[in-house]
Each structure stands twice: as C-alpha cells, then as structure tokens.
Amino acid sequence: MNFARLDPVDGDPIPTRTIDDVLTAGDFVFDDGATQTFRPDGTTTYVESGRPTEGEWYVEEDGRFCSFWPPAYTGCYNLKWLVEDGETTGVRFVEVDTGREFTGRYFSKKT
C-alpha cells in the first residue's frame, strides 16, 4: 500500500481510520529480530526465536491499537509513523502504560 497520499511525517500519530491498512500492509521485523504479521480478520502471529505465538488485535474507538495474547495479556499502544529518507518504512508502537517504544519495519509488503 502506498501511504504517500497521507503525507506521513516521522513520529506523527497514525490516523485511526488508517491503522487497519497500515498494520496489514506488510509483515514487520522488530529491532530484536522478532517478526509479526497482522491479518485483516483481527488475528496476529508474533514469532520470537523461531517460536510463534497467536493472538488477536483490534483498534479501540479512541484510536489505540491493542493486542490480546491468551490466556490473559492485553497490551495497548499508540501508533506513530516510521518514515526514513522520505519513505514509510514501518510503525513505532508506543506502549500506553509505560511509554516504551518498539519499532517495527516492513520486511515484506503486500500489494
């Protein structure tokens, strides 16, 4: 997906109406080497050290992105654009409770 029409600026919040498209536009790789895939049906797979974990994701009305990992963990994040050299390269996931930031870069984009 081409995000240029949205004129993303590095570090700016991702508009709520575009979060679904941004998350499902490609698979992500994080700084620690873990990968994550978000599917349009609200399921997600996180792979760390070769071990996959299945979860669910959704967007709350206030624009927060949340993910649920059975049996009982839910994490909520504010999402910000990651733009490098004028190209949208990923998403900054900023944990609501702690402010910790996780950077996910697209490593495969869907068309």
Supply the pLDDT for residue 74: 96
> Average per-residue pLDDT in the chain?
93
Residue boundaries of the structural domains of the chain: 4-106
* Residue carrying structure tokens 């495969």: 108
Question: What CATH architecture is 4-106?
Answer: Beta Barrel (2.40)
Q: What is the pLDDT of residues 46-85, one digit of tens each?
A: 999 999 999 999 999 888 999 999 999 999 999 999 999 9
CB 78 within 8 A of CB 94: yes
Supply the pLDDT for residue 54: 97
How far is it, in rounded angstroms, from Cα 36 to Cα 85?
Answer: 24
Supply the pLDDT for residue 7: 85
Tell me the mean pLDDT in the region 20-34: 96
